[in-house]
Copies of this chain bind each other. A is one copy, B any other.
Amino acid sequence: MEVVQTIAELKSIVRKVKSEGKTIGLVPTMGYLHEGHMALAKKAREENDVVIMSIFVNPTQFGPNEDYESYPRDLERDRKIAESVGVDIVFAPSVEEMYPTDGGIRIHAGRQATILCGASRPGHFDGVLQVVTKLFHLAEPTRAYFGQKDAQQVAIVTTLVRDYNFPLEIRTVPIVREEDGLAKSSRNVYLSVEERKEAPAIFQSLKLAKEVFLSSHDAEKATRAAKEYILEKTKGRIDYVELLSYPDLTPVDETTEQFLLAAAVFIGKTRLIDNIIFSKEGEMKNV
The A114-130 residues at the B interface (CB cut-off 8 A) are: 129-130
- For A, the interface residue count at a CB cutoff of 8 angstroms equals 33
B105 touches A160 (CB 8 A): yes
Taking CB atoms, residues of chain B closer than 8 Å to A101 are 162-163
Output the nearest chain B residue to A137 by Cβ-Cβ distance.
Answer: B165
Taking CB atoms, residues of chain B closer than 8 Å to A110 are 103-106
Q: Pick the contact of A103 from B11, B112, B165 — CB < 8 Å? A: B112
Give the CA-CA distance A108 to B103 in the complex, in Å. Answer: 11
Give the CA-CA distance A21 to B16 in the complex, in Å. Answer: 11
Q: Pick the contact of A108 from B11, B106, B111 — CB < 8 Å? A: B106
A10 to chain B, nearest CB (A): 10
CB of A214 within 8 Å of the partner chain: no
Q: Beyond A165-B134, A165-B138, is A107–B109 a contact (Cβ under 8 Å)? A: no
CB of A172 within 8 Å of the partner chain: no
**Per-residue CB proximity of A126-166 to B under 8 Å, as 1/0?**
00011001100110100000000000000010011011111
Q: Pick the contact of A105 from B21, B134, B164 — CB < 8 Å? A: B164
B133 touches A103 (CB 8 A): no
B163 touches A105 (CB 8 A): yes
The A21-51 residues at the B interface (CB cut-off 8 A) are: 21
Taking CB atoms, residues of chain B closer than 8 Å to A108 are 105-108
Q: Pick the contact of A137 from B19, B111, B129, B164 — CB < 8 Å? A: B164
Output the nearest chain B residue to A165 by Cβ-Cβ distance.
Answer: B137
**Per-residue CB proximity of A223-235 to B under 8 Å, as 1/0?**
0000000000000
CB of A102 within 8 Å of the partner chain: yes
Give the CA-CA distance A104 to B156 in the complex, in Å. Answer: 10
CB of A238 within 8 Å of the partner chain: no
CB of A181 within 8 Å of the partner chain: no
Give the CA-CA distance A164 to B156 in the complex, in Å. Answer: 18
Give the CA-CA distance A110 to B107 in the complex, in Å. Answer: 11
A163 touches B21 (CB 8 A): no
Give the CA-CA distance A134 to B166 in the complex, in Å. Answer: 8
A159 touches B105 (CB 8 A): yes
Give the CA-CA distance A106 to B7 in the complex, in Å. Answer: 26
Give the CA-CA distance A134 to B129 in the complex, in Å. Answer: 15
The 13 sampled A-B contact pairs (Cβ below 8 Å) are A7-B165, A103-B156, A103-B160, A103-B163, A104-B110, A105-B108, A105-B109, A105-B159, A106-B107, A137-B164, A137-B166, A137-B167, A140-B167
Across chains A and B, which 4 residue pairs bring their CB atoms closest together, nearest first? A104-B110, A103-B159, A137-B165, A104-B111
